[in-house]
Structure 1
Amino acid sequence: MKKILTIAALLTALTGTAFAATNYDLTIEKPAAKVNVKAVAAVKLTAKGVYRINREFPARLSLTAPDGVTLDRTKLMAADAKITEKELKFEIGLTASTAGKKTITGELRGAVCNDADCIPFTEKVSIEVGVAAQ
């Protein structure tokens, strides 16, 4: 019985993840960055087809910067985003103190809806930034 419940839970989790991913596209806009010059990256989620962004869901983006990178903010909420019916976009201000490839990691949460239901999502994000020396 335990095995059946475990398999059912796994199938539900996998189906939910796959279903949600078919309802939106996630895009990372990588900036051209230079040492000690502020740059702006963006994390953008676009709802597909009949789905739309749920403006009432507490969307948020939590970020972790690597050594040598300072973020304007590490936690962004829905009020910090540009939200339209089809798009949720967070802009991330960053400044690097050293040259090279830097990777900012994080997690994006929100929800997309159609007329029948809403589907919350959680996506891992990775923003790779090439930082040039001045």
Structure 2
Amino acid sequence: MLQELVERFCVALIDELNEAEYLNPELSSFPHGSCEAISQMVALYLDSKGVEEVVFTRNRAIISGRNSVHYWVLVGSEVIIDLTAEQFDEFKGSCIRLVTDSPFHSQFEQLSFSRPNLGSLVRPGIGANNIIFYKRLLSRLGSV
């Protein structure tokens, strides 16, 4: 069930990113720089579908000599859902859907985790644009 929900979300996300009339800077370079918003949206969607123990996490590591912060979704304490990992050269493979053990992710130290919350999509300077995008995404998911 989880795999199917994530796959449906990915299809709808890519379609919405490709067809949206406007994308704010956080989403316009997907997967680059969009890990926080995308992880929050995935977590919100999974939570709305009754998936238990869903959080989005904020993590930090030194990657290519730079301090890197990266977000992903954690279900329970083992399943990682990261739709933006391919933004890192160090990540090998295609976009991660579901993993329970990942050498790439094990490089990171978890700084925090948060329960899904629609208000977390509001950003200074762009306001509720991510919420509008998420609601369009939900509408699209209703027809996928």
Given the two structures, how large is their TM-score scaled by the length of structure 1?
Answer: 0.28
In terms of fraction of residues, the more helix-rich structure is 2
Larger radius of gyration: 1
In terms of fraction of residues, the more strand-rich structure is 1
Given the two structures, how large is their TM-score scaled by the length of structure 2?
Answer: 0.27
